Structure 1
Amino acid sequence: MTRERWIWVGVVTLFLLFGVALYFAVTALSQQPATPPQKKQQIISLVKPPPPPPPEEKMEKPPEPELQEEVEIPELSEMPEEIPELGDEPPPGEQLGLDADGSGGGDAFGLVARKGGRGLLSGDPMAWYAGRLQDCINDLLQDKESIRTVGSYRVDLRVRGRSDGSVEVKVVSSTATDELLDHILTQFDRPIRCNVDQPPQAQGQALKITLIGEGRD
């Protein structure tokens, strides 16, 4: 084969190859869409959750009623069937005092001297007798300045009168100091004589007498 013929064969082959390549290129381009597809927008709707339920109201318990203590009311004592008749004695005075003529501002124990004064134990012969014994002991202690000028005190005595007029004294309780109480007791180291007639029912009986000092000068 001559040289010119080989050149023509090569040129024809190139044109064929070029035509095939062009054909495939045009075919590929024709299959693609002219415009790219648009992206679709997705709409998402948010649903609000329901509101939470209101908090439950706690019912407060009412305060329990306080238990009241039961108070026992003492029963009233029955009235005596017979009421003793009042004697012909004058009515007692309103103030406690010594049944004597009034003089001065009272004794060392705050008892005012006044005629017809009401005794501490008035009402019967035993009360009269106890009042006289108390007056006797008051007079004894009133003469002692060391006892009359001290502070306030209270001494409970148990007194027993004898038929000869002497008096036996025993201390039951006292708010006085030990020194003052010893000084008071020294006044009774020997029997006290009180010119008081002892009623028959007072024989051998002990009477309680209270001495109250107010610390007067």
Structure 2
Amino acid sequence: MLTSALAGLGLGLSLIVAIGAQNLFVLRQGLRREHVLAIAVICTLSDALLIVLGVSGIGLALHALPQLVTLVRWMGAAFLLGYSAMALRRAVRPTGAALRVRAAGTSPAPGGTAVATRTALAPAVLTCLALTWLNPHVYLDTVFLLGSVASTHGAGRWAFALGAMVASALWFFSLAFGARLLGRLLATPRAWRVLDAVIAVIMIALAVHLAFPG
């Protein structure tokens, strides 16, 4: 069970750390110190629900059709390798779209000091929900991929799911509340390239383990 939980933790972190619109929004809210707790809770609970849907739905389908386990394992491995290739590409040739993060919504005051316009809670929550639930990749990653990999752990699939949920909570709360520190650390293209390189290595290792579990 502990091995399954750690595997879920590792895969969950590997998937969720990838640079994306949702993460940048959470980071932005953290930099602005606006509704940080609400945003972190929404992201964490959304991920938890998606993980449960994936583990229960895919798990039941594979239980009824055990011959699909091998197919799912190889499909998952192929997807992870594709994901690692994209991360490697970002590490080698960064696009620059997500390399520098600044607090948005600021304008220079007469004395040269930036003045932030505070965003209301409702628009921030709606934006967070939209970035989470209207993103097609979240279903591919969280529902299909995590659910499929969890099914290969048999009786330990819910421990795997729990590990993935813990990874989600750790990431979103760390990103939201540690945003100011992370904003400084990830303020250079080199930092993002190192992060993407680490993600690629983890993805490759997970793909190999998934394809050859013995």
TM-score (norm 1): 0.28
More helix by share: 2
Structure ID, larger Rg: 1
Q: Which is richer in strand?
A: 1
Higher relative contact order (CA 8 A, sep 6+): 2
